[in-house]
Amino acid sequence: MRAVSVHRDALVVTSRMWQTNATVLRAGAEAVLIDAPYFPDELEALPALLGQAGFVPDGLLATHADFDHLLGKLAFPDLPLGVGEETALRLRAEPGAAQRALRDHDERHYVARPSPLSLGAVQALPVPGRLDVGDQELELHAAEGHTADGCAVFARVIGVLAVGDYLSDVEIPMISAGGSVDAYRATLARLAPLVEEAETIVPGHGAPRGRDETLRTLDEDVDYLDALERGEQRPALPQGRSSGEQRRIHAANLASL
């Protein structure tokens, strides 16, 4: 697990699994943790790591309902979990789905956990909308397409934009169950002006980066969606995102059309 300060009031913690990012944003005496690392030892170490850095969270946010973004509850079981309205609907419509997906993934990778994932009652947040954290407002923006639900979180005062599973430098656009190319395109169009206004963009997986690099990724992702809709079997994938695993993701995307 790696922790990087991207602003004096923003810390990004990156898991060994899938380069999954958790972002903690601080405003005055309050802080919020967005998403989470994956492995049990990372989650066990997270409270002490954040405490030593002066980023003790008062609440949790998840950008969407995929299991790897919900694991903050394992590190901070007593904190409230906020999610966008569509994510709350998905969690209610798919009871236990995240827990089963986590269990299946853990079994494949021989991961043992001290306790199962329990989400408890989640707080549904309006998206688009705003969330008060300390003396700041976080903006919540709709981000569907990868899945049927999702939100991006913009701390405009400090210029940090957490986008969930979009704009990654290690992963091509992934159209999962409930997602669609059209919705993915709409999210990219919605994110573009936010990226223009941000200083640091934190994807769900991969490195936090500045606006220029991220805008190039956004253009590459639009080009990829064009190739996907044309049904290209072996499109030219972006540099750094052309591995065998990304080819597998492309095949799954094609099968979902």
The distance from CA 256 to its chain's CA centroid, rounded to whole angstroms, is 21
Q: How far apart are CA 205 and CA 23, in angstroms?
A: 11
Question: Rounded to the nearest 5°, which phi and psi values hold at 41?
Answer: -65, -30
One digit per residue, pLDDT tens: the chain, 257 residues?
999 999 999 999 999 999 999 999 999 999 999 999 999 999 999 999 999 999 999 999 999 999 999 999 999 999 999 999 999 999 999 999 999 999 999 999 999 999 999 999 899 999 999 999 998 999 999 999 999 999 999 999 999 999 999 999 999 999 998 999 999 999 999 999 999 999 999 999 999 999 999 999 999 999 999 999 999 999 999 999 999 999 999 999 999 98
Q: Domains in the chain: how many in total?
A: 1
Domain range for 19 is 2-256
The CATH number of residue 166's host domain is: 3.60.15.10
Q: How far apart are CA 34 and CA 114, in angstroms?
A: 22
Question: Rounded to the nearest 5°, which phi and psi values hold at 163?
Answer: -105, 5
> What's the half-sphere exposure (Cβ side, CA atoms, 13 Å) at 80?
9
| DSSP state at residue 11 | E
pTM for this predicted structure: 0.96
Q: How far apart are CA 93 and CA 90, in angstroms?
A: 5
Q: How far apart are CA 202 and CA 200, in angstroms?
A: 7
Q: How far apart are CA 203 and CA 152, in angstroms?
A: 10
Give every CB contact of residue 181 below 8 A, 6+ residues apart in sequence. 145, 175, 225, 228, 229, 257
Determine how many CB atoms are found less than 10 A away from the CB of residue 76.
20
Give every CB contact of residue 122 below 8 A, 6+ residues apart in sequence. 81, 82, 83, 87, 88, 91
